[in-house]
Amino acid sequence: MNTRFYNCKILTMLENDNWFDGEVWVEENRICFVGTCEEAKNVTPIDFEREIDCKGNLLMPGFKNAHTHSAMTFLRSFADDMPLQDWLYKQVFPMEAKLTGEDAYWLSILAIMEYLTSGITSNFDMYMHMEDCARASSAAGFRTVLCGNVNDFGGSDDTLREENEKFNNYDELISYQLGFHAEYTTAKPLMESIAKVSQELKKPVFLHNSETKAEVEGCIERYGTTPTVFLNEIGMFEYGGGGFHCVHITNNDLKVMREKNLSVVTNPGSNTKLASGICPVEKYVNAGITVGIGTDGPASNNCLDMFREMFLVTGLQKLSQNNAAAMNADEVLKMACVGGAKIMGLNDCDSIAVGKLADLIIIDLNRPNMQPLNNITKNIVYSGSKENVKLTMIDGEIKYEDGEFYIGIDPDLVYRKVNEIIASKK
């Protein structure tokens, strides 16, 4: 589909770029023109199926949810107000054991709908029933990077090889990165074999890392050092990778992260709700480490809302450091768009530029919470909300606009299916 966006404010998210008034043209699934209205007059036009008057609203790259477990929508508000280990072992794992692949399909569709309302155009999804999660994203036209989830409950080094081959050749909207659940759920021989797969395929590895103080203390008891240092010692990060959460880290951990070019995905909503601690995001940024933002799963958050996460990223840094100047909002917005894309391997989706994939959103500036326009980017982080997402486009196709979904699936059917699923598991 060829689409023209005009009369819009454009935030490219390119380095050192501020917003400007202009137009963006999309030819099929890629951006073919970005410029001012005057510049557009000097370019040979293409045939547009649709021309969208943005009415002065903001066009920008979509947000990247760099860590989530989409199909966990069935546990939203089911097991709340519990410590992480009790929540995980007494509530989550027993319920997940009842989940089927078909369940995961419908539960993932529900999550995708929520992503679209929040301006999220891609996710880094770590969960079981991977085939069904991929099928859901493909059916809805949503961009998903699947993450390996091997642990002592299932999977092996061969699982990672097979998934890597399968899901990197599955659909143009689906890709895959190596991963395993966490150090504390994975025996050392299995972790050593995962490290060998990474070296064999020359690919990074991602995992839950140093989420809680108890997790780090347990690793020290088992191996005499922290998870990050231990995993580096067994060769896990020869080709980079990253950690989800990374709340409790040491200076030695930070040294490994810098040396091995590891990234961090912070999940402030989930970590706040589970009282896991505050991720030292500003420390990572100052150390030159790439940071992305994730919602985590809807069982522990419970909301798949990038606006809330962005506010918490900056707010928690200010609170923990007792410094209102900590964690600039512009840097946080960069994490949500560019940092996540880099971590997920989506380098064609990180900005608005000619040749980039058209994963775009329109932010409605004509709402009370976005006025006056003293600073648009800070408005997004500090006062923006889902109500400001007017349109979400993925791969050149509009998937959500003015409260309506265009995913080829009836929302009422989705709501009925997911409620039937949870009723059958209780």
What is the C-alpha to C-alpha distance for residues 269 and 416, in angstroms, rounded to an integer? 27
Within 10 angstroms of residue 354's Cβ, the number of other Cβ atoms is 12
Q: Coil, helix or strand for 121?
A: strand
* pLDDT at residue number 426: 74
* Cβ-Cβ contacts under 8 Å for 54 (sequence gap 6 or more): 5, 6, 7, 8, 9, 362
CB 361 within 8 A of CB 24: no
* pLDDT at residue number 105: 98
Residue 117: both structure tokens together: 């309302």
Strands 50-53 and 58-61: unpaired
Say whether pLDDT at 376 is over 80. Answer: yes
Cα angle at 176 between 401 and 214, to 5 degrees? 100
* Average pLDDT along the chain: 96
* pLDDT at residue number 246: 98
Say whether pLDDT at 197 is over 80. Answer: yes
* pLDDT at residue number 361: 98
pLDDT tens track for 250-262: 999 999 999 999 9
More confident residue, 422 or 404: 404
Q: What is the CATH number of domain 3-61+348-405?
A: 2.30.40.10
Say whether pLDDT at 386 is over 90. Answer: yes
User: Mean pLDDT throughout 178-204?
Assistant: 98
b/e map of 317-350 (b: 16 or more CB within 10 Å)?
beebeeeeebbbbebbbbbbbbbbbbbbbbebbb
Say whether pLDDT at 83 is over 90. Answer: no
Residue 75: both structure tokens together: 């546990």
- Please name the helix (run of DSSP H) or strand (run of DSSP E) that holds residue 379, with its range, or none: helix 376-383
Say whether pLDDT at 72 is over 80. Answer: yes
What is the C-alpha to C-alpha distance for residues 330 and 312, in angstroms, rounded to an integer? 14
**DSSP type of residue 19:** P
DSSP string of 178-211, one letter each residue? EEEEEGGGS-HHHHHHHHHHHHHHT--EEEEES-
pLDDT tens track for 157-175: 999 999 999 999 999 999 9
* Cβ-Cβ contacts under 8 Å for 2 (sequence gap 6 or more): 25, 26, 27, 28, 46, 47, 48, 49, 50
* pLDDT at residue number 133: 98
pLDDT tens track for 91-139: 888 888 999 999 999 999 999 999 999 999 999 999 999 999 999 999 9
Say whether pLDDT at 84 is over 90. Answer: no
Say whether pLDDT at 290 is over 90. Answer: yes
User: Mean pLDDT throughout 289-293?
Assistant: 98
User: Mean pLDDT throughout 26-51?
Assistant: 94
pLDDT tier at 44, thresholds 50, 70, 90: confident
Say whether pLDDT at 40 is over 90. Answer: yes
pLDDT tens track for 205-225: 999 999 999 999 999 999 999
Amino acid at 413: L
- Please name the helix (run of DSSP H) or strand (run of DSSP E) that holds residue 259, with its range, or none: helix 251-259
